[in-house]
Structure 1
Amino acid sequence: MKRTHNCNQLNISNVNQEVTLKGWIKKIRKMGQITFIDLRDFYGITQIVVGENKQELINNLKPEYVISITGKVIERKSKNADIPTGEIEIEVKNIELINKSELTPFVIENDVEVSEETRMSYRYLDLRRQKIQNNMLLRAKVNSIIRKEFEADNFVEVETPYFGKSTPEGARDFLVPSRLNKNTFYALPQSPQLYKQLLMVSGFDKYYQIVRCFRDEDLRNDRQPEFTQLDMEMSFASATEVQDQIEKVIKKIFLEVKGIDFKEKLIKMPFREAIDLYGSDKPDIRFDLKINTLNEIFDKTQIKLFESFKENKLSIRGICVEELLSKKQLEILTETAKQKSFNNLAFAKFENGTWSGSIASSLSDGEKQALIKQFNIKDKATILLNVGKYEKISDMLGAVRNKVAEILNLADPNDYKLLWIIDFPLYEWSDEESRYVAAHNPFTMPNIKSIDDFETNKEDAIADSYDLVLNGFELGSGGVRITDSGIQQRMFEAVGLDDETIEKNFGWFINAYKYGAPNHAGFAFGIDRVIMLLTHSESIRDVIAFPKNSKGIDMMNDAPSYVEDNQLSELSIKTIK
């Protein structure tokens, strides 16, 4: 029979109607001569009651069997206010078995004790859990909001190629061999960067796309080898105009999904300020704990750890926690410092005029008073500090700061703090390549302050780029593009690309800019990460239907896998044992 309703649809107004429902058996409960079945489908749960004279209909039925039931809607005596159908139940007339199920490797419940490996191996069962299905529904809603907002502002959705050209900049490419063109490879796109810029050259005014991207990089909880991002570009637009557009969309998402109305403009924090105060270019500003430079306080110190900081051009930096941290907590924070290549983490505790801690006995009276004033200490505090090169000590204290917040629950998980980080360095140093490389990509316009000497003063060069940050996570990044061929040539040379390499990898792209290009700017943010944060998921894998594990393996179908030699032979490829 045809399904008349879903399992989340019926209520008291449907009493006495005959209905047909279809779904999975969630639970079977026998109470005397009566049996109750919780029938589950994608939409919800409805209770089915099987009377004494119908018990033969449920012989051999088990959890996760798929059935069709027909019966009459009746009012429940014992109502369940936790579900929309809790006022009614179905008095069964007939049950049809659609399909049996083997015993599942784990119970289909929101809270279930099972390894992630097992969940990923049986992802189709894991996806039956309401928690994971809700994540997918929220993801679909966010995608719908994005499309509506961009289309309302006259953006055009354009699909760009998945098979493109490998370029030397950026992360490692996933390569796809071409059978028809021997010994050549396509590269799966790390982003549609070049294609979307060419769309602007082509005369498109506003472009957007919800697109799958690919990067062959080491994985962690918030990364996957394939991921989805919102990509956009605007002709004749400034950085501010792009930021305004993204703000509008992200605020709409929060309003419709979380009921949070961000009325104020997002703050814009320069990169160097973020590093100085928070030790990170993606600061979590839900809690204070700002990093302070303490060089002046320890200018004439007798503390052995700090005494040679001036000669070695090092910085003494620290944070102040308005708590007396325990020995165990300090051990955890020291381990965090060690993960950032620091041997230890100095500390000093203050309580009602008394000092203690690893450096307390070496502090002079002047240093003590200066620290109290610097951190505005009242009754009690723990100061965490160390010495090192400015960038490294800032990075370490940024990690310690986040760990303190985790230990002391300083960040409200239901609080959302969005901000822009601007004025990024144009370059970053690559230890692996022993050279400066483009921090974002070699097509990002230098800031007007750096336009005259960006190729010679690489350490101080600033990019006209920007990141959107939420609660310590980078949601996405963007920038103003280079459209002047002279500036583009200077940029290529600055990152060590010779004319032959430029022509080989980017000639097709650069040629387009010889035919009249508008100034343009754009942005892209990771949808997977946004959904992870909106749902408070521990891993990005919980918001992707069929994710890979931390080694890039699909536990369900064992991809990547070996292929037959004849397939490789067609591609002129041989494996190395």
Structure 2
Amino acid sequence: MRTHFCGLVDEALVGQTVTLCGWADVARNMGHFVFIDLRDHEGIVQVVAEPSDGDGGRDVVEAAAKVGYEDCLRITGTVRRRQNPNPKIHTGQVEVVAEKIEVLNKAEPLPFHAHENPGEDIRLKYRYLDLRTPDMQRKMRTRTKLVSALRAWLDARGFQDIETPILTKATPEGARDFLVPARMHEGEFYALPQSPQLFKQILMMAGFDRYYQIARCFRDEALRADRQLEFTQLDMEFAWVDEKIVQDTVEAMVRDVFREVMGVELDATFPRMTWAEAMRRYGSDKPDLRIGLELVDVAELVKNCEFAAFTAAANDPDGRVAALRIPGGASLSRKQIDEYAAHAAKFGAKGLAYAKIDDAGAVNSPIQKFFAEDAFKALLDAVGLRNGDIAFFGAGNYKTVSDSMGALRLKAGKDFNLVQDGWKPLWITDFPMFEWDDEEQRYVALHHPFTAPAVDSIADLRTNAKTAVSRGYDMVLNGNEIGGGSIRIHNSAMQSAVFELLGIGAEEAEGKFGFLLDALKYGAPPHGGIAFGIDRIAALMAGTESIRDVIAFPKTTTAQCLMTGAPSPVPDKQLAEVHVQVREKGADKA
């Protein structure tokens, strides 16, 4: 049907006849001449219809004059050099002189133009049109190159691509499962996998040594720019390894893949940073190192001041008082400072104190009155405040202060153009084993319940559960967690002890994880692994903040597919076949 792709026509084809297929990106009628920019997935080439001897030339010009935006065309013509080259595109040195123009499918008036940005809802409703645009074609091609490079790298190093089940068993930890009624087992359900975690561990116990899978995963959780109900991850698992082997291997993979896909050279060795250090310096377990700002702990300097919010947090073993200095931030107006306070409040902060020094050296701070003169000067000196700067102060629970001040650090970095160019990867290690859930009054796993603790003794783990450190690790790139993993528990007794600390009793553990506990008894090797978010890495490579831009058919933030109308009601007859009855909304409260 065609001889060449539009975007690949170049000077080597001058004088040759080609047949091209694509969409009319732009049609310009100049009277005697008509220019059509013909587009396919490889790019755009200029086609010109011009008069020539005989009726053929007139017919071509008339056909070209009727071409509308996004008409689906097949054009045959001769390649020649352009009189006015366009150096911005691959085909810019040539054009195709049309000899025959066929309209394969006439396009009705479109809801939006390919060169417009009509808003995400319209783009997702007409996703097939959105995906035609050169920008979306580029982003999706980047994703394809990424997945291809990952597969080639892993295949060349002896990793086995093994599929794991999509219909599996519901789990009690993490996000909510998507449930699938089992028609042949009345009243019972499958769950869609949140990850292949347990299956890949079983594969290590089964002797496969090195596994990978480009896996589809499902989590029934709130959506945002970097999350979807269904997503894709590169899942990996290794037998007979420790943290260093896993980290060194996948670090080499990431470096090679970035070089191949983007021509980018990442650091020869990624820096390592403990979770505790990351939270202390950056208020985040995925710090963006392109921003040079760091938090400063000042609890010791405010313990005896007269500001109650500071003294309460400074004297609380679980509290924190931290400051963030923003160079040039004294230019912030009172309204802008209030906006920073509102931003911190989104992350749990109950207030935001500040101090700023104008260019002449005058101090402006609502908390200055609570300090002796020398004590306040010592506080500002500790923060490093200089003329023209502002410092924000957060006080309260350690986690809340870290989260809110870390969020302010990111906002200030963007607002004051402090984000450096380039790529800043790092490893975050030594995560807490557990965190306390006040609502459920129990420990929950910070990574997942199969992560090994950094102690060999069950007694030590039970005694020091609050401060226990895990053998988990995350890879972070430019403030995004792109991969997370750990060394796994390979001892049945230790796994049972962890379940117990998480409030999972022996009966529940046997019912939900009995197959794992049994497998651990039969010579399970030490093993560990990691999973990388394909969507997140592709978004970073494509230069977009939303993973929806690198997923062909994503859901909205309200968990809908606007193109197909999913989710949608199901007829009662179909529900009856799977033994399910829909309760009216609010019926459980009656």
* Corresponding residue number in structure 2 for 1:404: 412
In the alignment of these two chains, the number of paired residues is 573
- Give the TM-score, by structure 2 length: 0.94
Deviation at 1:307, TM superposition (A): 4.4
Q: How does 1:48-447 map to 2 (within 5 A)?
A: 48-52=47-51, 53=58, 54-58=60-64, 60-109=66-115, 112-303=116-307, 305-310=309-314, 312-313=316-317, 314-323=319-328, 324-327=330-333, 328-351=335-358, 352-412=360-420, 414-447=421-454
**1:204 maps to amino acid:** F
CA offsets, 1:440-463, max 9 Å, x none?
221111013875422232210111
2:4·2:19 contact (CA, 8 Å) conserved in 1? yes
- Structure 2 alignment gaps of length 5 or more: 52-57, 585-590
Q: Is the 8 A contact 1:450 1:462 kept in 2?
A: no
- Tell me the SS of whatever aligns to 1:173: coil
Shift of 1:226: 0.2
Residues 311, 250 of structure 1: alpha-carbon distance in 2 compared, 3 angstrom cutoff: closer
CA distance in 1, matches of 2:320, 2:199: 44
Gaps of 5+ in 1: none
Contact 1:283 1:471 in 2 (8 A): yes
1:450–1:461 Cα contact (<8 Å) kept: no
| Local SS of the residue matching 2:104 | strand
Is the CA contact (8 Å cut-off) linking 2:357 and 2:363 kept in structure 1? yes
What is the Cα deviation at residue 342 of structure 1? 2.6
For residues 201-251 of structure 1, what are the alpha-carbon distances to aligned partners after superposition, in whole Å with 9 as ceiling and x for unaligned?
A: 110110011110000011111100000001000010101111111101111
| Of 503, 509, 519, the match for 2:526 | 519
Q: 1:58 to 1:371 in 2, by over 3 A?
A: same
Q: CA deviation at 1:435?
A: 1.0
Matched, 1:5 2:10: no
User: Are 1:545 and 2:552 counterparts?
Assistant: yes
Could you tell me which amino acid in structure 2 is paired with residue 491 of structure 1?
A: V
Q: Partner letter of residue 193 of structure 2?
A: P
Q: Deviations over 1:356-391 (max 9, x none)?
A: 122234443312432343233443321111321222
**Alpha-carbon deviations, 1:530-569, whole Å to 9, x = none?**
1112222131111100000001110000111111111111
Task: Give the letter aligned to residue 350 of structure 1.
Answer: I
1:493 is paired with a residue whose SS is helix
Residue 454 of structure 1 aligns to a residue whose secondary structure is: helix
For residues 358 and 319 of structure 1, the distance between their equivalents in structure 2, rounded to whole angstroms, comes to 16
Structure-to-structure mapping, 1:36-55, within 5 angstroms:
36-52=35-51, 53=58, 54-55=60-61
Amino acid at match of 2:379: L
* Aligned partner of residue 7 in structure 2, secondary structure: coil
* Secondary structure at 1:73 match in 2: strand
State the 1:483 CA deviation.
Answer: 0.9
Question: Aligned partner of 1:151: which letter?
Answer: D
Alpha-carbon distance in 1 for matches of 2:143, 2:45 = 25
Alignment match, 2:31: 32
Q: CA RMSD in A?
A: 1.7
Q: Distance in 2 between matches of 1:140 and 1:122?
A: 22
More displaced stretch, 276-285 vs 300-309: 300-309
> Structure 1 residues 426 and 59 mapped into 2: Cα distance closer, same or farther (>3 Å)?
same
Please state whether the residue corresponding to 1:316 is helix, strand or coil. strand
Q: Quick one: distance in 1 between partners of 2:504 and 2:312?
A: 41
Alignment partners' CA distance in 2, 1:312 and 1:227: 41
Residue 404 of structure 1: how far off its partner (Å): 0.9
- Structure 1 residue 116: deviation in Å? 0.7
Per-residue deviation, residues 321-362 of structure 1 (Å, max 9, x unmatched): 111141143122111122223332111112443211222344
Query: 1:248-285: CA deviations, max 9, x gaps?
Result: 11111221233221243111111111111111111111
Contact 1:349 1:360 in 2 (8 A): no
- 8 Å CA contact 1:329–1:407 kept in 2: the answer is no
Whole-angstrom distance in 2 between the partners of 1:144 and 1:186: 31
Q: Contact between 1:449 and 1:462, CA under 8 Å: does it hold in 2?
A: no
Which stretch has the larger CA shift, 465-474 or 116-125?
465-474
The within-5 A match list for 1:13-28 is 13-28=12-27
Whole-angstrom distance in 1 between the partners of 2:294 and 2:526: 38
SS of residue in 2 equivalent to 1:396: helix
Contact 1:46 1:89 (C-alpha < 8 Å) held by counterparts: yes
Percent of aligned pairs with the same residue? 42
Cα distance, 1:242–1:308 mapped onto 2, change above 3 Å: closer
d(CA) in 1 for partners of 2:535, 2:118 = 23
